[in-house]
């Protein structure tokens, strides 16, 4: 095993999977988190031969699962003498609805749990390891829709807006705290051709939402970025951006 470890939520598909491959290629051990073991194992199979990956299943919306994941990561880091250098909050959800009347409050609660509560709770639980590995980095994955409301995208947009605020809060709280706190940044990937965006497109189509035409066109014209290009840009930001350009920054591919 290598000495640095990166924990990536939502590593079984799309951007998270591509990021895992990129970081592993840079000699970093990757801990792959998601609910579906088969999806995480598909990512594991894509890692370069000499690299190390750990599959850790769990639902980050559930506190018991988060606590179990934190214990498992801590045990791995300690037993292998590794440093938790990177924590990437990539998993993201948010079901569309046809409008406010049909927007499911439980769906909003689920989106908030995955997109906001989990990044907070996982960062808190892993903070001792992040401090011990100083200098370490936390990267949140935002979405442009947080600042561009569109019909039917309430749960996703509201929760991503809250994630942006969580990023800002962590930044100011860490900045006035001790020197060994992790640097925190927000990454805005833009439109990326992933299973997630395609599932969103089909759900939005069922709801009859107007942005479906734009997404259809963007996917047909190849205007979406590839997960690989975005994973590479995120890995570059994590491993090669100087601290003064990373801490508190909103980064883009
Ligand atoms: N694609 C885009 O155009 C785009 C644009 C802006 C922002 N983003 C953001 O980029 C991030 C990655 O999205 P993506 O497009 O790559 O989507 P994706 O392919 O759907 O990947 C998301 C991953 O998150 C995991 N996940 C979902 N809920 C989870 C939970 N409760 N616990 C643990 N893991 C969970 C899923 O795996 P399981 O189902 O196995 O748990 C899935 O592998 C998200 O935060 C998304 O909001 C994407």
Instruction: Write out pLDDT tens, residues 182-202.
Output: 999 999 999 999 999 999 999
Output the CA torsion 187→190→195→201 (10° steps).
130
What is the C-alpha separation between 204 and 217, in angstroms, rounded?
A: 14
Is the whole model's pTM more than 0.75, yes or no? Answer: yes
Q: Out of 9, 10, 117, give the residue to mutate to test ligand 1, the one with the largest number of ligand atoms within 8 Å of its CB.
A: 10
Q: Which is more confidently placed, 175 or 22?
A: 22
Q: What pLDDT, on a 0 to 100 scale, did the predictor assign at position 179? A: 83
Summarize the confidence of residues 240-251 as an average pLDDT. Answer: 97
CA of 202 to the centre of ligand 1 (A): 15
Q: How confident is the model at residue 2 (pLDDT cuts 50, 70, 90)?
A: low
CA of 58 to the centre of ligand 1 (A): 14
CA of 159 to the centre of ligand 1 (A): 13
Q: What pLDDT, on a 0 to 100 scale, did the predictor assign at position 94? A: 98
- Least trusted range by pLDDT, from 1-10, 25-34, 64-73: 1-10
Instruction: Write out pLDDT tens, residues 89-140.
Output: 999 999 999 999 999 999 999 999 999 999 999 999 999 999 999 999 999 9
Average pLDDT of every residue of the chain: 97
Q: How confident is the model at residue 32 (pLDDT cuts 50, 70, 90)?
A: very high
Q: What pLDDT, on a 0 to 100 scale, did the predictor assign at position 241? A: 97
What is the C-alpha separation between 78 and 82, in angstroms, rounded?
A: 7
pLDDT at 227 over 80: yes
pLDDT at 171 over 70: yes
Instruction: Write out pLDDT tens, residues 134-165.
Output: 999 999 999 999 999 999 999 999 999 999 99
Q: What pLDDT, on a 0 to 100 scale, did the predictor assign at position 1? A: 44
Q: What pLDDT, on a 0 to 100 scale, did the predictor assign at position 125? A: 98
Q: What pLDDT, on a 0 to 100 scale, did the predictor assign at position 246? A: 97
Q: What pLDDT, on a 0 to 100 scale, did the predictor assign at position 212? A: 97
Atom number, ligand 1, closest to the C-alpha of residue 110 = 31
Q: Which residues line ligand 1 (CB under 6 A)?
A: 9-10, 12-16, 33-36, 39, 59-61, 90-93, 114, 141, 143, 189, 191-192, 194-197
CATH topology (fold) of 4-190+226-251: Rossmann fold (3.40.50)
Q: What pLDDT, on a 0 to 100 scale, did the predictor assign at position 102? A: 97
Q: What pLDDT, on a 0 to 100 scale, did the predictor assign at position 218? A: 96
pLDDT at 30 over 60: yes
Distances 191 to 80, 163, 169, 188, 209 between C-alpha atoms, Å: 37, 18, 26, 9, 17
Q: What pLDDT, on a 0 to 100 scale, did the predictor assign at position 177? A: 82
Structural domain spans, the chain: 4-190+226-251
CA of 10 to the centre of ligand 1 (A): 5
């Amino acid at each position: 095993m290598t000495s640095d470890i990166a924990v990536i939520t939502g590593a079984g598909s799309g951007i998270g999977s591509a990021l895992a491959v990129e970081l592993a290629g840079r000699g970093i051990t990757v801990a792959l988190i998601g609910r579906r073991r088969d999806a995480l194992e598909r990512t594991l199979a894509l890692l370069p031969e000499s690299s190390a990956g750990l599959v850790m299943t769990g639902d980050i919306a559930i506190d018991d699962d988060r606590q179990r994941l934190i214990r498992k990561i801590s045990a791995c880091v300690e037993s292998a003498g590794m440093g938790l250098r990177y924590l990437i909050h990539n998993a993201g959800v948010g079901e569309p609805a046809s409008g406010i009347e049909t927007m499911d409050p439980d769906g909003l609660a689920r989106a908030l749990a995955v997109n906001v509560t989990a990044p907070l709770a996982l960062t808190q639980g892993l903070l001792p390891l992040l401090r011990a590995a100083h200098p370490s980095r936390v990267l949140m994955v935002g979405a442009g829709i947080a600042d561009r409301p569109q019909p039917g995208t309430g749960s996703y947009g509201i929760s991503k807006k809250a994630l942006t605020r969580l990023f800002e809060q962590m930044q100011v709280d860490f900045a006035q705290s001790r020197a060994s706190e992790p640097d925190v940044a927000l990454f805005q990937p833009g439109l990326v051709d992933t299973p997630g965006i395609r599932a969103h497109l089909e759900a939005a189509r069922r709801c009859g939402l107007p942005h479906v035409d734009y997404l259809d066109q963007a996917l047909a014209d190849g205007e979406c970025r590839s997960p690989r290009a975005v994973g590479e840009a995120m890995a570059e930001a994590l491993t090669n951006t100087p601290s003064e350009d990373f801490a508190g920054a909103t980064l883009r591919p």
